[in-house]
């Protein structure tokens, strides 16, 4: 190859300055990568919206006869039972939403690092100055931050609409809507909800991390690769030792946040009546949380390393 | 500092050797055509240069190790891997937002300017665009990035001739400024003959020929022989001989043009003809265990 004298660089600047641009506008790779995920995976917000719409319709139908039921509830002698009866539909709507965003998160993660290889767009993403770490972090932000926030916003919206609908209905039938608010501390419940969503997201972090690792590793059938090893271990344990510790461990990973994050009264109504029942100290000092977060970090680190080697399928 | 410098670059996939000790130096301001048959190692070489695949040996692109510094490198390097890597779900406006948001050297106004010359709508999804329009879109993005090195791997595969022509015209007129470096691989070699400043043939993981286009023109000559001069011409050891309309056409390396003019009509061969000559000669020399053609190292 013929050598030519190098002309002076077109733009002088220090190429070692990382993070901030040394030419042109400052960039925000993580911020825009999260937007990119939302553009690609519209189920992240469409699914909660649909669920919210269904809930509103169902609740609208359930307001028929609300006044009679409310009068019956107010006749109960136990205020705990009164509160439980009034609160139940609100809690049910919230639980449904939390379950739905969990499912959305699971399927999102299973596709997160697989879809870009399947459609070959990984070659385009890798042609931009965005690191594998930024990419993986932007993707895990969806189940750990974005989905809980969307769930919280949807729950608040649905409950506000519920309160409005039921209050109007009660007024029209001569019952004071104040009976709702007397037994159902709305703002306190939202605070509990937010706390619970954060506790759940952190507790489930290793699940999302594992799913993301599998989505970056498997060539196909990500769901099977993600789930079958656990089924196999359970079967092996059951047949070989007749025990089911592994199944208990999995169950603990799915639901174990609750006894750590909340101080339940026990009995038939595991409800949260006061903010004193939130136990963030106990939650933050539970080994299960930190073991889970360590596992999540390990899975994500492996996913970042793996993406370096990955090209289109 | 050379734009690309490789020494003993090796890459194997199990027992298949994709790159077999490649030495390579591409200076700033060159437009290099990397030509080779399928499976020759072109894409592997480009992937190594772009930090998409690990390798053995020494490789520096703009002074960096591409495998460990891909993110930083991609501020100064653009590439079009092939025609269909833009995600199909994305909208043109979103694509502009994203690249503007992550790339410090992307000039959005410039990209909008290039797009204004096309029929691509801002609200369209990539999946709604024709193959040619997707190529135009990708090129508009890449040309709006002030990169030092542009790598094109089969950028016009599957496009019709109008888009192909337009692609290289835009690249030369609106992008190349004599300071950037461009590396391109393609099978449509005839179309880039006038575009290139340098030429490199790669086969079975090795460089079998490398020269600048000036050297190419000085070194190789093709003669359409008068029928009576065929035997005489053969004594000059042509690289390759073929028949066109019943007449012999021979390709010579480093033979004086004046001497050849006496034998028939002399012209500069096309890259495609030289490619065929080198590749078929390569096969023959393989039999005798020798591989030394052109500037092979």
C-alpha dihedral over B124, B125, B127, B133, to 10 degrees? 50
B28: which chain A residues are within 8 Å (Cβ-Cβ)? 4, 6-7
Which residue on chain B is closest to A117 by alpha carbon?
A: B85
Is B26 at the interface with chain A, CB within 8 A?
A: yes
3-class SS at B13? strand
CA distances from B30 to A3, A4, B167, B203 (A): 10, 9, 18, 22
Q: Which residues are bridge partners to B202 per DSSP?
A: B207
Q: Where are the domains of chain B?
A: 4-204, 215-286
Q: Is residue A21 part of a domain?
A: no
Which residue on chain B is closest to A122 by alpha carbon?
A: B85
* Predicted-assembly ipTM surpassing the 0.90 threshold: no
Residue partners of B165: CB distance under 8 A and separation at least 6: B191
- pLDDT (tens digit per residue) in B121-138: 999 999 999 988 999 999
- pLDDT (tens digit per residue) in B169-222: 999 998 998 899 999 998 888 888 889 999 999 998 999 999 999 999 999 999
Q: B295 vs B206, which has greater pLDDT?
A: B206
Q: Is residue A161 part of a domain?
A: yes
- pLDDT (tens digit per residue) in A165-191: 889 888 888 888 888 888 888 888 899
CA distances from B248 to B225, B234, B238, B240 (A): 6, 10, 11, 10
pLDDT of residue A62: 85
pLDDT of residue B39: 83
pLDDT tops 70 at residue A2? no
Q: Do A39 and B75 touch (CB under 8 A)?
A: no
How many structural domains compose chain A? Answer: 1
pLDDT tops 90 at residue A96? yes
Which residue on chain A is closest to B54 by alpha carbon?
A: A309
Average pLDDT of every residue of chain A: 87
Q: Are B72 and A129 in contact (CB under 8 A)?
A: yes
Q: Do B71 and A131 touch (CB under 8 A)?
A: yes
Q: Nearest C-alpha of chain A: how many angstroms from B89?
A: 6
Q: A135 vs A268, which has greater pLDDT?
A: A135
User: Residue B284's pLDDT band (boundaries 50, 70, 90)?
Assistant: low
User: Residue A75's pLDDT band (boundaries 50, 70, 90)?
Assistant: confident
- Chain B interface, best mutation among A127, A131, A304, A312, by max B CB count within 10 A: A127
Is A36 at the interface with chain B, CB within 8 A?
A: yes
Q: Rounded to an integer, what distance in angstroms lies between the CA atom of residue A291 and that of residue A4?
A: 58
Q: A266 vs A27, which has greater pLDDT?
A: A27
Of A289, A285, A309, the closest CA to residue A297 belongs to: A289
Among B25, B86, B103, the residue with its CB nearest the CB of A124 is B86
**Token pair belonging to B239:** 């690289």
3-class SS at B286? helix
pLDDT tops 80 at residue A241? yes
Q: A9 vs B155, which has greater pLDDT?
A: B155
Among the ranges A173-177, A301-305, B19-23, which has the highest mean pLDDT value? Answer: A301-305
- pLDDT (tens digit per residue) in A140-162: 999 999 999 999 999 999 999 99
Among the ranges A30-44, B1-15, B31-45, B267-281, which has the highest mean pLDDT value? Answer: A30-44
Q: Is residue A246 part of a domain?
A: yes
Q: Rounded to an integer, what distance in angstroms lies between the CA atom of residue B268 and that of residue B118?
A: 36
Which residue on chain B is closest to A133 by alpha carbon?
A: B71
pLDDT of residue B283: 60
User: Residue A13's pLDDT band (boundaries 50, 70, 90)?
Assistant: very low
Is the domain covering B4-204 a CATH 3.40.50.300 domain?
yes
Average pLDDT of every residue of chain B: 88
* Global pTM value: 0.87
Range of the domain at A298: 29-264+272-309
């Amino acid at each position: 190859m013929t050598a030519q004298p190098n002309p002076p660089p077109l733009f002088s600047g220090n190429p070692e300055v990382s993070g901030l641009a040394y030419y042109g506008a400052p960039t925000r790779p993580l911020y825009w990568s999260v937007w990119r995920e939302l553009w690609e995976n519209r189920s992240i917000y469409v699914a909660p919206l649909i669920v919210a719409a269904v809930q509103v319709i169902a609740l609208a139908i359930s307001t028929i006869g609300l006044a009679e039921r409310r009068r019956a509830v107010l006749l109960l002698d136990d205020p705990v039972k009164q509160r439980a009866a009034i609160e139940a539909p609100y809690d049910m709507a919230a639980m449904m939403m939390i379950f739905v965003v969990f499912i959305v998160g699971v399927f999102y993660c299973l596709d997160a690092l697989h879809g870009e290889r399947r459609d070959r767009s990984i070659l385009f993403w890798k042609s931009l100055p965005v690191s594998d770490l930024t990419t993986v972090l932007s993707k895990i932000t969806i189940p750990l931050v974005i989905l809980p926030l969307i769930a919280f916003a949807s729950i608040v919206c649905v409950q506000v609409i519920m309160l409005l609908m039921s209050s109007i209905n009660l007024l029209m039938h001569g019952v004071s809507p104040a009976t709702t608010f007397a037994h159902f501390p709305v703002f306190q419940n939202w605070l509990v909800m937010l706390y619970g969503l954060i506790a759940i997201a952190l507790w489930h972090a290793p699940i999302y991390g594992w799913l993301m690792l599998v989505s970056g590793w498997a060539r196909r059938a990500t769901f099977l690769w993600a789930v079958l090893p656990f089924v196999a271990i359970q079967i092996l344990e059951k047949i070989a030792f007749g025990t089911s510790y592994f199944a208990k461990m999995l169950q603990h990973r799915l639901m174990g946040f609750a006894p750590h994050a909340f101080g339940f009264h026990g009995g038939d109504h595991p409800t949260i009546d006061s903010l004193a029942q939130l136990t963030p100290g106990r939650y933050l000092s539970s080994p299960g949380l930190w073991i889970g977060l360590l596992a999540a970090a390990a899975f994500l680190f492996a996913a970042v390393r793996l993406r370096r080697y990955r090209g289109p399928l | 500092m050379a734009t690309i410098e490789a020494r003993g670059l090796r890459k194997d996939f199990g027992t298949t050797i994709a790159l077999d000790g490649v030495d390579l130096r591409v200076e700033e301001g060159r437009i290099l055509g990397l030509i080779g048959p399928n499976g020759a190692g072109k894409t592997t070489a480009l992937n190594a240069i772009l930090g998409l695949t690990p390798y053995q040996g020494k490789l520096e692109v703009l002074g960096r190790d591409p495998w460990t510094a891909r993110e930083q490198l991609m501020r100064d390097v653009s590439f079009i891997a092939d025609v269909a890597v833009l995600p199909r779900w994305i909208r043109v406006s979103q694509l502009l937002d994203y690249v503007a948001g992550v790339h410090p050297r992307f000039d959005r106004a410039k990209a909008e300017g290039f797009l204004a010359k096309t029929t691509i709508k801002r609200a369209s999804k990539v999946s709604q665009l024709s193959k040619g329009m997707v190529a135009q879109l990708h090129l508009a993005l890449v040309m709006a990035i002030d990169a030092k090195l542009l790598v094109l791997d089969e950028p016009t595969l599957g496009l019709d001739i109008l888009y192909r022509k337009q692609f290289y015209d835009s690249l030369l007129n609106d992008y190349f400024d004599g300071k950037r470096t461009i590396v391109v691989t393609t099978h449509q070699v005839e179309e880039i003959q006038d575009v290139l400043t340098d030429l490199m043939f790669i086969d079975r993981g090795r460089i079998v020929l490398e020269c600048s286009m000036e050297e190419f023109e000085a070194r190789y000559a093709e003669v359409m022989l008068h029928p009576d001069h065929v035997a005489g011409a053969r004594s000059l050891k042509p690289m390759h001989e073929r028949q066109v309309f019943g007449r012999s056409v021979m390709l010579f390396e480093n033979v004086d043009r004046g001497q050849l003019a006496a034998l028939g009509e002399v012209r500069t061969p096309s890259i495609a003809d030289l490619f065929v000559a080198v590749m078929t000669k390569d096969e023959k020399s393989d039999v005798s265990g020798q591989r030394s053609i052109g500037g092979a190292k």
